Amino acid sequence: MHPPDTAPPCERLTRIIYVEDDDLMADIVKILLTDAGYLIGVIGHGTLAYETIAFKKPDLVILDRSLPGMQGIEILERLRTAPETYLIPVLMLTAAGGRDKIDEGLGAGADGYLVKPFDPEALVRKVEGILDNSLFNRSGRRT
């Protein structure tokens, strides 16, 4: 047993909020990322998602573009303009492909963009890469 001052730090799971209104897709992504060791919550409504993200401040947000209430791009734009959320990494995961859509998402401040259907390993790699390159390390402290 370690004395209190030399005890190893507690590791906490990386918290991800996935904003997706398709239940099947939400289940698939949740299973993939849970198996990869992440703690993931799913929200199916854009307005509720924005409010939850602003309150919870997760380590990563994964956004679909087409959502009820508030579109993914609008959520992204609001996150990037709010002082309390502008540093939260965001991955767009959407069926809306094409150079113009990808450029719009990245231009609005997304840290990555992945088009559905996607390779499961590519999703996990993309999430890991965004988290590794963000201003937050896995323990939630700013680096």
Q: What is the DSSP string of 48-80?
A: HHHHHHHHH--SEEEE-SS-SSS-HHHHHHHHH
Q: The pTM is what?
A: 0.85
Q: What is the CATH number of domain 38-93+109-138?
A: 3.40.50.2300
pLDDT at 10: 41
Contact call for residues 109 and 79 (beta carbons, < 8 A): yes
Confidence of residue 135 (pLDDT cuts 50, 70, 90): low
- Taking residues 38-43, what's their average pLDDT? 97
Mean pLDDT of 57-85: 96
* Range with lowest mean pLDDT among 51-60, 79-88, 128-137: 128-137
pLDDT over 90 at 31, yes or no: yes
Euclidean distance between CA atoms 110 and 16, whole angstroms: 15
pLDDT at 5 over 50: no
Question: With contact defined as beta carbons under 8 Å apart, do 14 and 38 qualify?
Answer: yes
Domain range summary for the chain, segments of one domain joined by +: 38-93+109-138
Q: Does position 141 have pLDDT exceeding 50, yes or no?
A: no
pLDDT confidence of residue 13 = 85
